[in-house]
């Protein structure tokens, strides 16, 4: 009888069905502001990252599938694209997950120098520092860190059940937000968000407790689902790559001044850089070459224009721009 066949008895585990989506963190720099492309989230007033279903028949590769629906949705032609991470925690979106179903989002980081969006779309650029206001140190340490974030996390540290956990939490706080002999590390964006999430200091963690879609609670603007975690992952990845890959040039026009290049790197890293050291790294590293053109609208000496020197990709294993931070 069928009941005697292995795998068909009542005690057999239910194999969950898998729904696969492709999501994109699409980044551009507009007027010295790091912008991420967002869309309206279904059944929510929150913004979300663009996503689309994987069409196993029409999409020969995941990346080509991503490029296809991003172009269809926004009219953007993506430049640099890399796979970021696969997010598949249970309960990422209870509104769409059926019982026994797991929602997987294969996320990508994409860079573009274009900003104009084509066609009727609800897509819109948003300043990523609106979601992570503590990450922008270009004007110095954000006051909210000392006034609000650290006291909140100190309370979380003090609430630890024992001294071992308390010491662990304090170490995490110091490593994430700096202190003592530990300086601020721009690449720890995800660590800082995860710390605030664990301390129930962001709306997403409160949402996971109460089930409601909290829209204005905690630090920074929340996003739908776990998309702020996805964005934090992308920011950490991109900031790290600045030092060893020439990805910043994917965000530049064909011709640019060194000051424009520096401002773009500062915009992404969230810190101010030492001007002379930055230019020395860029020029001595063979990352750029002059175009012969000059910009006369600077109010001073005409600024020389440069372009990315693509030959450097075959000359050096890690041609990044570096982050020579300006002393506070």
CATH of the domain at 264: 1.10.10.10
State the number of CA atoms in the 13 A half-sphere of 206 facing the CB: 13
- What lies within 8 Å, CB to CB, of 155 at 6+ separation is none
What pLDDT is attached to residue 21? 85
Q: What is the mean pLDDT of the chain?
A: 86
Cα pseudo-dihedral 245, 250, 253, 255, rounded to 10: 30
Nearest to 38 by CA among 66, 73, 65: 73
The span from the CA of 133 to the CA of 149, in Å, is: 11
Say if 258 falls within a structural domain: yes
Domain finish residue from 83, 108, 129: 129
CATH number of the domain enclosing 74:
3.90.79.10
Provide DSSP, 255-291: SB-HHHHHHHHHHHHTS-B-HHHHHHHHHHTT-EEEE
Q: What is the pLDDT of residue 96?
A: 64
Q: What is the pLDDT of residue 229?
A: 95
CB-based burial label for 298 (10 Å; 0-12, 13-18, 19+): exposed
Domain boundary among 129, 160, 183: 129
Residue 169: domain span: 133-219
Same domain? 24 vs 113: yes
pLDDT digits (tens, 9 = 90+) for 1-49: 444 444 444 555 555 688 888 899 999 999 999 999 999 887 778 999 9
């Amino acid at each position: 009888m069928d009941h005697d066949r292995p795998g068909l008895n009542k005690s057999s585990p239910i194999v969950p069905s898998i729904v696969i989506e492709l999501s994109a963190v699409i980044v551009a720099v507009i007027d010295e502001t790091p912008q991420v492309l967002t869309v309206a989230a279904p059944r929510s007033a929150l913004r979300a990252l663009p996503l689309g279903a994987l069409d196993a028949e029409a999409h020969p590769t995941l990346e080509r599938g991503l490029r296809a629906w991003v172009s269809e949705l926004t009219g953007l032609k993506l430049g640099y694209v890399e796979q970021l991470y696969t997010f598949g925690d249970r309960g990422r979106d209870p509104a769409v997950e059926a019982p026994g179903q797991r929602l997987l989002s294969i996320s990508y980081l994409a860079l573009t120098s274009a900003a104009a969006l084509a066609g009727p779309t609800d897509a819109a650029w948003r300043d990523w520092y609106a979601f992570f206001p503590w990450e922008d140190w270009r004007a110095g340490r954000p006051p909210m860190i000392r006034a609000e974030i650290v006291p909140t996390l100190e309370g979380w540290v003090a609430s630890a059940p024992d001294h071992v956990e308390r010491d662990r939490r304090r170490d995490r706080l110091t490593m994430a937000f700096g202190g003592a002999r530990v300086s601020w590390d721009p690449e720890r964006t995800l660590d800082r968000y995860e710390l605030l999430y664990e301390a129930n200091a962001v709306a997403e963690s409160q949402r996971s407790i109460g089930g409601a879609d909290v829209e204005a609670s905690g630090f920074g603007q929340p996003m739908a689902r776990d998309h702020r975690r996805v964005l934090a992952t992308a920011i950490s990845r991109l900031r790290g790559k600045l030092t060893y890959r020439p990805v910043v040039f994917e965000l530049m026009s064909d011709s640019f001044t060194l000051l424009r290049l520096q401002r773009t790197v500062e915009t992404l890293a969230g810190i101010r850089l030492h001007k002379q050291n930055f230019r020395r790294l860029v020029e001595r590293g063979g990352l750029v070459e002059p175009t012969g053109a000059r910009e006369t609208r600077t109010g001073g000496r005409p600024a020389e224009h440069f372009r990315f020197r693509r030959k450097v990709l075959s000359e050096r294993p890690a041609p990044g721009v570096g982050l020579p931070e300006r002393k506070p």
